[in-house]
Structure 1
């Protein structure tokens, strides 16, 4: 009997292609170059003598052969992941503690679904969110008051390691009748005469200010609010403009409450997980980070992978 050319990496590739609808975005998610992913697909297609997807379709469309492999992947990959978790439990034990500290107000939109999925994977791990918003979540790690911190920068610190989660686009959010809504993209100067509505955090935690406005010498008036929905309401009422993650404002865009525009051609923000170095190899922490990435890419629009 001939050896099958099919490997787990091929099934992961088919899933990424189906989820993203793009070879380039699938390659990002799998931490491959686009040429490496294309070469992998060509080898598999040559082995079976069938095309797996229609190359000229936009978004990408799987062929019947690709759909059959996708069905297999959806069935098999969760079983492989479950078996690997079982092996990790045998090695490390089932119980543990995972206290999560966050520095971003919009983290809960993707964190809660990931936590729900994780609980089914590791029911004996005590999972909790450290109460409140924290300007220095890594400090909670080092004082043993948290086990994982969600941060926007990888600042090297002794005893701390960082793992990439994902990148996302920040967009300008405007009232539908705002004069700037006529522009295709906003630049730093467009914010100069406006009131900028932000979360109540230090300036160095706001990528719009750090990456776009301050380098251009622009310092607009400010107004703050704790809640995304309140910021959107203020924007819709022409009390100011804001910059928010694209995925966080999609529901309001779909309802026509506000409009969104790119900033400086596409302002990207990043999220990382910070862990104590001594905990970095714990299987349940690895699984939690994989769960965050999987659930976020499956449910949030406009994400891209971090290397």
Structure 2
């Protein structure tokens, strides 16, 4: 018997379960909200029953929706495994994936992605290029790395980018700091403070590049390589900082520091993967990018879908 169910329908149902809303699910599967709603209505009209309750938040699936959702949970991993097997048959199983990272806060969530990748591609040599890299794209062009995680998708001959996600940056200070009384920090709030950052160039710090320097504000700095050291310095009122929300959340829960929104619209940062154009058809590289993206949305708080900038 022919079935109306398509793989895209199952992906949509999984996205609905993971995000809890139609609008977020649409972004996750790169559809407009109306296109995603049309997919759901097609199934509901065919089976003549609703698949989830529209007014619940997060969405709550009906028994019929739960049954299709279970099909998606069972089938989609098998499809992914079959596609991976096909790629290994056609392209070969061996390869090399040397990863270069310009983000100090990436390593904690990269490790689970690497752990998931290794048993799927056991003959691909996976490694991280040692240390923080100020020019990971340069390492790609020198063939010293095979994949880079970067904050800007700057056009460069021979390099292609894939979006990972957008994440929120928050300001942090000691609980008894005067700025703790403000819900939103503006650029001027940083003017008379010591800014504690990782030891990277100013153009790699979104707080400086997007918020402070355009207003002519360039506060004194103190640097540390370690996130926990930055937290300790902030907690002891040696300065203030701006870090990804996922990084500071454990310390917020323990009450070490407090976080505040930066500017009325919030400060958002982006992450992309970069690879050589000649490697874009290597399935294991694409598979690693997918694992990083999916684990990020599953495990990290405050992420949103990132689209490639217009050319």
Could you report, residue by residue, the CA deviation over 1:156-195 in whole angstroms, capped at 9, with x for unpaired residues?
1111111111110111112122221222211111111111
Report how far residue 101 of structure 1 moved. 0.4
Alpha-carbon distance between aligned partners in 1 of 2:230 and 2:55, rounded to the nearest angstrom: 41
Q: Could you say which residue in structure 2 is the equivalent of 1:21?
A: 20
Q: Could you say which residue in structure 1 is the equivalent of 2:184?
A: 185
Q: Could you say which residue in structure 1 is the equivalent of 2:226?
A: 227
Which SS does the other structure have where 2:176 is aligned?
coil
Q: Could you say which residue in structure 2 is the equivalent of 1:7?
A: 6
Q: Could you say which residue in structure 1 is the equivalent of 2:294?
A: 294
Q: Could you say which residue in structure 2 is the equivalent of 1:116?
A: 115
Q: Could you say which residue in structure 2 is the equivalent of 1:207?
A: 206
Equivalent pairs counted in the alignment come to 306
Report how far residue 241 of structure 1 moved. 0.9
Q: How does 1:239-278 map to 2 (within 5 A)?
A: 239-264=238-263, 265-278=265-278
Alpha-carbon distance between aligned partners in 1 of 2:4 and 2:173, rounded to the nearest angstrom: 52
Alpha-carbon distance between aligned partners in 1 of 2:215 and 2:43, rounded to the nearest angstrom: 50
Q: Greater shift after overlay, 126-135 or 233-242?
A: 233-242
Alpha-carbon distance between aligned partners in 1 of 2:35 and 2:252, rounded to the nearest angstrom: 36
Pair 122,65 (structure 1): closer, same or farther in 2 beyond 3 Å: same
Q: Could you say which residue in structure 2 is the equivalent of 1:281?
A: 281
Report how far residue 10 of structure 1 moved. 1.1
Which SS does the other structure have where 1:218 is aligned?
coil
Pair 255,271 (structure 1): closer, same or farther in 2 beyond 3 Å: same
Provide the aligned C-alpha RMSD in A. Answer: 1.1
Q: Could you say which residue in structure 2 is the equivalent of 1:150?
A: 149
Alpha-carbon distance between aligned partners in 2 of 1:271 and 1:305, rounded to the nearest angstrom: 10
Report how far residue 253 of structure 1 moved. 1.4
Report how far residue 34 of structure 1 moved. 1.4
Report how far residue 28 of structure 1 moved. 1.2
Alpha-carbon distance between aligned partners in 2 of 1:120 and 1:185, rounded to the nearest angstrom: 45
Could you report, residue by residue, the CA deviation over 1:113-136 in whole angstroms, capped at 9, with x for unpaired residues?
111111121111000000011100
Report how far residue 211 of structure 1 moved. 0.4
Q: Could you say which residue in structure 2 is the equivalent of 1:171?
A: 170
Q: Could you say which residue in structure 1 is the equivalent of 2:60?
A: 61
Tell me whether 1:76 sits opposite 2:78 in the alignment: no
Report how far residue 61 of structure 1 moved. 2.1
Gaps of 5+ in 2: none
Alpha-carbon distance between aligned partners in 2 of 1:293 and 1:244, rounded to the nearest angstrom: 20
Alpha-carbon distance between aligned partners in 1 of 2:266 and 2:4, rounded to the nearest angstrom: 40
Gaps of 5+ in 1: none
Alpha-carbon distance between aligned partners in 1 of 2:257 and 2:156, rounded to the nearest angstrom: 40
Pair 178,63 (structure 1): closer, same or farther in 2 beyond 3 Å: farther
Pair 287,220 (structure 1): closer, same or farther in 2 beyond 3 Å: same
Q: Greater shift after overlay, 170-179 or 132-141?
A: 170-179
Pair 256,68 (structure 1): closer, same or farther in 2 beyond 3 Å: farther
Report how far residue 231 of structure 1 moved. 0.9
Which SS does the other structure have where 2:184 is aligned?
coil
Q: How does 1:90-105 map to 2 (within 5 A)?
A: 90-105=89-104
Report how far residue 289 of structure 1 moved. 0.6
Alpha-carbon distance between aligned partners in 2 of 1:242 and 1:66, rounded to the nearest angstrom: 45
Q: Greater shift after overlay, 48-57 or 133-142?
A: 48-57
